[in-house]
Amino acid sequence: MVKSKCYAAVDLGAESGRVVVGIYDGSRMTLEEIHRFPNGGTNILGSIYWDPVRLFSEIKTGLAQAVVRFGDALCSVGVDTWGVDYGLLDRTGQLISMPHCYRDPRVDRVMEACGERLSMDELYAGTGIQIMFLNTVFQLFAETQETPQRLEIADQLLFMPDLMNYWLSGVTANEFTIASTSGCMNMRNGQWNDEILTRLGIPPDIFLEPTAPGTTLGPLTEAIETEIQAKLNVVTVGSHDTASAVAGVPAVGSEYAYVSSGTWALLGIETAAPIINDQSQRYNLTNEGGICNTIRVLGNITGMWIVQECRRTFAGEGDNYDYAEITQMAETADPHVAVIDPDYPAFGTPGNMPEKIQDYCRDTGQQVPETRGEILRTAFESMALKYRLVLERLEDLRGGPVEVLHIVGGGSRNRLLNQMVADAINRPVITGPVEATSVGNFLMQMIAGGDLKSLDEGKALVGNSFETAEFEPENPAPWESPFEVLKKNIG
């Protein structure tokens, strides 16, 4: 009888974090969530920060519980998180300040000055990364303008999963997939773009040589081993959660696209090399590092964030709906009342989201959704339509059709949105696994440990281990007119 091997995945999202254990019995994988905890930025004197110390404490709690549950069957741990955010270490290895959240307003105050140093055309040409206010490169430029003393004493920059790995193992590294989200790297060669960094006043020497996913950094520190009573290896997985999610897509061939659906919806294709040209820039598509020497050519779309913010506003008004109730309200509302661009800048910051949606519709000369259900349905439908727009741009860019769209991640649970997407794109949608990010995290640990020979072998394991669901287009015709409205409003 084959003894099961177990792997711990630490998956930190913008809204919550958890420790999940993957159990491999030699032919199939099963998952067990061990510990879940809330996350979110905290506003302190007008700046929004993450609390990495609390997150690390929660990670240790989850690992300790995993050890109690699985003992010496537990082999290793890998950490994945959202992209772009970072911490700065001084020369003694201490964190200089709390990491800023990507929604912190400091970038808004310096964007114009950044453009005077380096045009957005030059920045895209030199990196291949979608121009978004939250990119690390803009955050670091904000540091040069508002808190230059931090950069003066900084010795190393660690992205959020790098920081957690450092505190677990004592080893510093910039894992490639998370580093690739920064807008500081030349994606043609996978190296830091020192010229761009220097022109913006960002010291290039705070970055480390990129480390490949699937690298064993080393064992836990002695202090952590003593605390959780176990010896585990720390492995760099696809440390950007989207990279891990894409690794967990149970797809074969190349005629598919994927969506990693959560607070953000990242829709893309995998390629052997980046696609950086005038057309990709016009479409504002990004080139990020993938697993096993691949590139994820994708669009970052505002996803469930808009619905989450609507829910938060309703709760502040005394109605604390769960997500099933939110979906039901949208499902019973009138369809196609209005269309919003989910990536309109006003929707990217916290606030009264229902009011923002109504203001957008009023400003664009559309019917204004009045009821909560209409507002929510407008948000869901607009996500589906934006998926179609990005999908068509990707097809245009690579010069070939996409036959099927795979949706993974927490958002894939929403059957209403899944059917909307199938109708909007007029193609089949396959959903699952919901836990694709953790699954991809496990696959890289298994490759590092020698339990899998390749990612293809891993994808076969995923297909053998987890259920998927398929949504066929049912009524695509009514989506044509709203799609034209979206394209007109985006310009």
The residues annotated with a catalytic role in the active site are 241
In angstroms, what CA-CA distances link 57 with 8, 64, 87, 95, 401?
16, 11, 17, 15, 46
Give dist(CA 239, CA 244) in Å, integer: 7
Go through the chain and tell me how many residues it has: 491
Give dist(CA 174, CA 165) in Å, integer: 10
C-alpha atoms less than 13 angstroms from C-alpha of 17 in its C-beta half-sphere = 29
For residue 148, whether the previous peptide bond is cis, meaning omega lies within 30 degrees of 0, is no
Give dist(CA 415, CA 47) in Å, integer: 37
Of 35, 80, 30, 60, the closest CA to residue 223 belongs to 60
CA-based torsion, 242, 239, 208, 99: positive or negative: positive
Give dist(CA 41, CA 354) in Å, integer: 21
Other beta carbons less than 10 A from residue 124's beta carbon: 23
Backbone φ, ψ for residue 59 (5° rounding):
-60, -45
Of 374, 411, 384, the closest CA to residue 474 belongs to 384
Of 426, 403, 423, the closest CA to residue 415 belongs to 423
Backbone φ, ψ for residue 291 (5° rounding):
-80, 145
Give dist(CA 267, CA 462) in Å, integer: 20
Give dist(CA 254, CA 257) in Å, integer: 8
DSSP 64-117: HHHHHHHGGGEEEEEEEE-SS-EEEE-TTS-B-SPPBPTT-THHHHHHHHHHHH
Residue type, 217: L
Q: Are 184 and 239 in contact (CB under 8 A)?
A: no
Q: Are 328 and 416 in contact (CB under 8 A)?
A: no
Taking CA 442 as the corner, what is the angle to CA 440 and CA 445, rounded to the nearest 5 degrees?
115
Kind of pairing, strands 429-431 and 404-408?
parallel
Angle at which helices 305-316 and 323-331 cross, to 10°? 100
H helix or E strand, kind and range, residue 470: strand 469-471
Give dist(CA 25, CA 28) in Å, integer: 6
